[in-house]
């Protein structure tokens, strides 16, 4: 049986916050800039490496917990940082020494998807003392 005195009493959810979870899958090379921009705005996020898609490229799965009032800000950062863009690359042949730099072909890079879900319960896990020992 669980001894709540030893483990700590059940914590109540954080009250008064309307929280949302953004679940985003973005290109791996966009993830670092996304984290910097979110951090600059004081928005926390967690990253999990993943892969998938047509060519099995590395992706980043990002979980962003955000208050309702900041949801539009977080989505705007996602769109600006991870949106599709045109990259101009030389048309390579099998042997890269034979690259034709005069023929530059535009290719799309970036992009991703995201889902927004309301959060029914939100709790912060914080450090606390149990029987005089910091955990």
What local confidence, expressed as pLDDT, does residue 81 receive? 92
Which residues are CB-neighbours of 118 under 8 A, at least 6 positions away? Answer: 18, 19, 20
Q: Tell me if residue 72 falls in helix, strand or coil.
A: helix
Q: What is the pLDDT of residue 58?
A: 75
Q: Which pLDDT tens digit goes with each residue over 83-112?
A: 876 666 655 555 556 655 566 666 666 678
Hey, where are the domains in the chain? 17-120
pLDDT of residue 29: 84
Q: Closest Cα partner for 83 from 24, 23, 20?
A: 24
List of residues 6+ apart from 92 with CB closer than 8 A: 99
pLDDT for 20 equals 96
> Which parts of the chain have pLDDT scores under 70?
1-16, 53-57, 85-110, 129, 131-135
Sheet holding 112-118, edge to edge: 45-52, 57-67, 19-27, 112-118
Region 17-120: CATH code: 3.30.70.120
pTM beyond 0.75: the answer is: no
């Amino acid at each position: 049986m669980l001894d709540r005195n030893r483990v700590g009493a059940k914590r109540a959810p954080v009250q008064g916050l309307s929280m949302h979870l953004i679940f985003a899958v973005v290109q791996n090379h966009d993830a670092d800039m996304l984290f910097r921009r979110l951090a600059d705005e004081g928005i926390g996020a967690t990253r999990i490496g993943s892969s998938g898609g047509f060519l099995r490229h590395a992706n980043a799965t990002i979980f962003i917990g955000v208050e309702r009032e900041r949801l539009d800000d977080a989505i705007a950062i996602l769109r600006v940082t991870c949106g599709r863009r045109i990259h101009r690359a030389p048309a390579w042949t099998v042997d890269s020494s034979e690259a034709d730099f005069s023929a530059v072909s535009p290719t799309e890079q970036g992009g991703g998807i995201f889902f927004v879900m309301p959060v029914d319960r939100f709790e912060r896990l914080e450090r606390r003392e149990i029987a005089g020992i910091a955990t």
